[in-house]
Amino acid sequence: MSNHYHVVLFVDSDQANGWSNMDVVLRWHQLFKGNVLSQRFVREEPLSEAEQNRLTILIDEWRSRLSDISWFMRVLNEAIAREANAEDGCSGRFWEGRFKSQALLDEAALLSCMAYVDLNPVRAAIADTPEASDHTSIKQRIEHSNTTRTPNSIKAQTPLLLPFTGNPRQDSPTGIPMLLSDYLALVDETG
């Protein structure tokens, strides 16, 4: 949107807790340069016991932050503010207030929220259709599904977004418990 954005997030704490120390450091380095210890760790240079202990404390903190919504929003908003401030030749906060979040506790809440977010540009008359709405997951999902004959297959869905996994079952992979085609129909009917 022109003055705000919506993000539907899934935080997989189990996955984050399963990352190796190297996974955590490499992920952190994608966002920040880290420090001398973490850079030496990545280069597999020897660390003293004291250095290793300090690095372990940092890695635990970074693991926590990498799976924390507040940290995610802080980093995202800071990048947007820097870009906007550079364009406008000013400094300071870009957003008026802190972000708002709402836990989506069941499938109905998740799907309602996703459809709301995906249809927001259409309601605001920024786009005529969901597939014409820039910067939305629905557009990415539609474009990606149009390139395959099996859009409901997890492997055929865009890897940038949490996949639709179909009906829930015991061995169900992590994802949204609905078929992609059913979600696209839901958004089409709602819109």
* Model confidence pLDDT, tens digit, residues 107-160: 999 999 999 999 999 999 999 999 899 889 999 998 888 777 787 888 888 888
3-state SS class at 164: strand
Q: Return the SS3 of 5.
A: coil
The pLDDT value given to residue 147 = 77
Encoding tokens for residue 81?
Answer: 């503010």
What residues have CB less than 8 Å from 29, skipping those under 6 apart?
Answer: 38, 39, 42
What pLDDT sits at residue 38?
Answer: 97
Q: b vs e for 154-191, b when ≥16 Cβ sit within 10 Å of the residue's Cβ?
A: eeebbeebbbbbbeeeeeeeebbebebeebbebbeeee
Query: Above 70 in pLDDT, residue 170?
Result: no
pTM beyond 0.85: the answer is: no
**Mean pLDDT for all residues in the chain:** 90
pLDDT tens-digit series, residues 176-186: 989 999 999 99
Helix orientation angle between 107-123 and 137-145, rounded to the nearest 10 degrees: 100
pLDDT digits (tens, 9 = 90+) for 88-120: 898 887 877 778 889 999 999 999 999 999 999
pLDDT digits (tens, 9 = 90+) for 51-77: 999 999 999 999 999 999 999 999 988
Q: Which of 34, 30, 68 is nearest to 54 (CA)?
A: 34
